[in-house]
């Protein structure tokens, strides 16, 4: 093996170690943020529950046993049963799938549509900027839950329509954050150098500007997941979210509302799950902001 090949191997190994070291350092700073570690544990538990639901769920979440409705916790039903005799723990585990699907799906939809809008608006400015930002202002003018409620009511209640409805509400926030970053980045040296070499505007926007707007988008996306989980539960509670009998924390909370005085646990179980996951995403969003913003790293 010649010297050039050895140098290339050494460079590849050093680069891999450097990337691994940066990731470990990032993870260490993230976990050192206040309450970030327990929040990450909650999110990981919910993700694992969603992935392995068929194997860890003690019962079929759709199986009904009317003779044992609103039962207290037993060894057979660790969290009791709902009004139809369905196992509350099994519905809690399977409900995590809907919560995460809406959370990740709605945020991904907002990022895929919002980031290009923000980059194009911030880099081109002028008339394009005015038109795109006024369109975003028009969407923001509607309260997020009201907009989602209207879209789901028109398109019909389904998981896909819930993701779409909540994702539309995420677009303006991602677009605005990306635009503000693009405005600052468009004057950087590497962008000016790309312009000087004759690169097209589209190449500059999507090869040089967009990748450097990711940090604030990650923060907003984490916070957006919390909003998506809460909005999904709100839509299901209002009866226009994921339809029954699909396990969903919001719909389970809605059906339990009339039985709280008889068996409070049927409302406490999905309510605590929604509260814990939303709080965990919010805390992780703050932790990502502290880690990714150089001005705040010294305060961690």
- Max CA separation in the chain (angstroms): 79
Q: What pLDDT shows up at residue 13?
A: 46
Q: What pLDDT shows up at residue 26?
A: 60
Q: What pLDDT shows up at residue 229?
A: 93
Q: What pLDDT shows up at residue 9?
A: 47
| The residue to which tokens 């992780």 are assigned | 284
Provide the token pair at 131: 């038109």
**The total number of residues written for the chain in this structure:** 300
User: Mean pLDDT, 10 residues at a time, over the chain (300 residues)?
Assistant: 50 49 66 81 94 93 87 90 91 94 94 94 90 92 87 87 92 93 87 85 87 88 92 87 86 84 89 94 87 57
CA 14 to the chain's CA centroid: 34
Alpha carbon distance 93, 113 (integer Å): 31
Q: What pLDDT shows up at residue 166?
A: 94
Quick one: angle between helices 159-185 and 88-124, nearest 10?
Answer: 30
User: What are the residue ranges spanned by the domains of the chain?
Assistant: 38-53+79-299
Q: How far from 80 is each of 23, 70, 91, 124, 273, CA to CA, in Å?
A: 42, 7, 11, 58, 15
Q: What pLDDT shows up at residue 19?
A: 56
Alpha carbon distance 217, 178 (integer Å): 7
Q: What pLDDT shows up at residue 293?
A: 66
Question: Check: CATH 3.40.50.620 for 38-53+79-299?
Answer: no
Q: What is the pTM (predicted TM-score) of this model? A: 0.85
């Amino acid at each position: 093996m010649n010297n050039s090949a050895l140098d290339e191997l050494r460079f590849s190994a050093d680069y891999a170690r450097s990337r691994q070291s940066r990731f470990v350092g990032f993870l260490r700073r993230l976990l050192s943020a206040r309450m970030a570690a327990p929040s990450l544990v909650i999110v990981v538990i919910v993700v694992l529950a969603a992935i392995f639901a068929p194997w860890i769920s003690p019962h079929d979440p759709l199986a009904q046993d009317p003779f044992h409705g609103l039962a207290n916790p037993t060894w057979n039903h660790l969290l009791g049963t709902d009004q139809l005799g369905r196992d509350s723990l099994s519905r809690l585990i399977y409900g995590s799938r809907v919560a995460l699907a809406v959370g990740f799906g709605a945020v991904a939809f907002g990022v895929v549509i919002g980031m290009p809008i923000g980059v194009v608006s911030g880099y081109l400015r002028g008339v394009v900027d005015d038109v795109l930002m006024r369109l975003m202002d028009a969407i923001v003018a509607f309260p997020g839950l009201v907009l989602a409620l209207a879209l789901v009511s028109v398109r019909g209640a389904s998981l896909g329509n819930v993701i779409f409805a909540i994702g539309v509400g995420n677009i303006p926030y991602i677009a605005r954050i990306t635009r503000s970053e693009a405005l600052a980045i468009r004057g950087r040296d590497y962008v000016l150098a790309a312009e000087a070499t004759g690169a097209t505007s589209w190449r500059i926007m999507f090869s040089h500007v967009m990748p450097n707007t990711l940090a604030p988008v990650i923060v907003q996306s984490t916070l957006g997941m919390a909003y998506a989980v809460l909005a999904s539960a709100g839509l299901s509670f209002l009866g226009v979210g994921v339809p029954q009998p699909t396990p969903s924390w919001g719909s389970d909370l809605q059906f339990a509302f009339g039985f709280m005085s008889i068996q409070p646990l049927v409302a406490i179980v999905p309510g605590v799950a929604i509260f814990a996951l939303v709080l965990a995403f919010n805390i992780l969003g703050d932790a990502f902001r502290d880690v990714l913003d150089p001005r705040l790293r010294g305060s961690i």
